[in-house]
Amino acid sequence: MDEIHALPAEFAHTASLAKGLGFGGVQIHAAHGFLLSQFLSPLFNKRQDAYGGSLQNRMRLLLEVINEVRKAVGPEFPVGIKLNASDQLDGGFAEDEALEVVAAVDQVAIDLIDISGGTYFPGAASSSDRAGSGPYFLEFAGRAREKTKIPLMVTGGFKTRAQAENAIVEGKADIIGLARALVVDPELPSFWLSGQRDESQFPRFKNPPEGGVTAWYTMQITQIANGGATLSPDDLVGAIEAYESRDETRRRIWNTKHS
Ligand SMILES: Cc1cc2nc3c(=O)[nH]c(=O)nc-3n(C[C@H](O)[C@H](O)[C@H](O)COP(=O)(O)O)c2cc1C
């Protein structure tokens, strides 16, 4: 319990560091199976104290973190949260509960709610691994819109300007989040603005293993950073190997420094 009580101040300290270093805002991550989303999820959170059980208890830590971060950075500094519409796991955090969290967050000083979903938990779908033809959390965003006036960002599956525009025009989102589209096409927003091109082509992978798609995109970011050649979808196996060996090296460095 002491560790839980220490967490809001730790998030607040990190947010203050980011502000001090000149970042324009911070986002509190309460999605994708990371700590705060595990607290929200009845599948992971089996506590029987004030931080587990009812949804009100499961969202207690998130609300404490938000309040502490806000106190640390002041009223003017932008603070967003990233929230799962659903864990997409049987017995996990689901949409009706996520809507109640949106309603609760509406009552605190948050500037942006970024809607996402899925988890990195083995056996589950992660948002960055998912194939499909279009945006996937829009219906939930429409429901969330009825619960809050806080600006909503929706991330997941956007590839075309028309998809992004429709989400805005239909009032489901105020901001569109792009991840993979920007990895394969870093200039895409400029093309959208100039009308030069509307669509981004995502690579197609044959039977990628779990986590493989995200690994490929991660290594493609590295290629961009190093000015290397664009990876082909056929490089999937090599990309996964490079990703895993890079992680292994990082793990070793971390363990050496912190064990
Ligand atoms: C290479 C890669 C790295 C990512 N890293 C993060 C991350 O650090 N934090 C996060 O919240 N989401 C991360 N994501 C997930 C994206 O933010 C986004 O939710 C997901 O990819 C779905 O959006 P998309 O369809 O536009 O890719 C990552 C995605 C990719 C492809």
If you measure from the C-alpha of residue 49 to the centroid of ligand 1, how many angstroms do you get, rounded to a whole number?
33
The pTM score is 0.92
Q: What is the pLDDT of residue 215?
A: 94
If you measure from the C-alpha of residue 128 to the centroid of ligand 1, how many angstroms do you get, rounded to a whole number?
5
Please state the rounded mean pLDDT for residues 164-190.
Answer: 95
If you measure from the C-alpha of residue 257 to the centroid of ligand 1, how many angstroms do you get, rounded to a whole number?
28
pLDDT at 202 over 90: no
- Which among 83, 128, 129 is the best mutation to test ligand 1's pocket, defined by most ligand atoms within 8 Å of the CB? 128
Atom of ligand 1 nearest to the CA of 118: 19
Residues near ligand 1 (Cβ within 6 A):
29, 32, 82, 116, 127-128, 155-158, 178-181, 214, 217-218, 221
Q: What is the pLDDT of residue 131?
A: 76
Q: What is the pLDDT of residue 122?
A: 78
Residues linked to residue 30 through DSSP beta bridges, in sequence order: 83
Atom of ligand 1 nearest to the CA of 221: 1
Per domain, the residue ranges of the chain are 2-202, 206-259
pLDDT at 129 over 80: no
Atom of ligand 1 nearest to the CA of 32: 11
pLDDT at 130 over 80: no
What is the SS3 assignment for 91-154? CCCCHHHHHHHHHHHCCCCCCEEEEECEECCCCCCEHHHCCCCCCCCHHHHHHHHCCCCCCEEE
Nearest protein Cα to ligand 1, atom 29: 128
CATH 3.20.20.140 fits 2-202, yes or no: no
If you measure from the C-alpha of residue 217 to the centroid of ligand 1, how many angstroms do you get, rounded to a whole number?
9
Which of 23-32, 169-178, 206-215, 243-252 is the least confident region? 206-215
If you measure from the C-alpha of residue 2 to the centroid of ligand 1, how many angstroms do you get, rounded to a whole number?
32
Model confidence pLDDT, tens digit, residues 81-116:
999 999 988 899 999 999 999 999 999 999 999 999
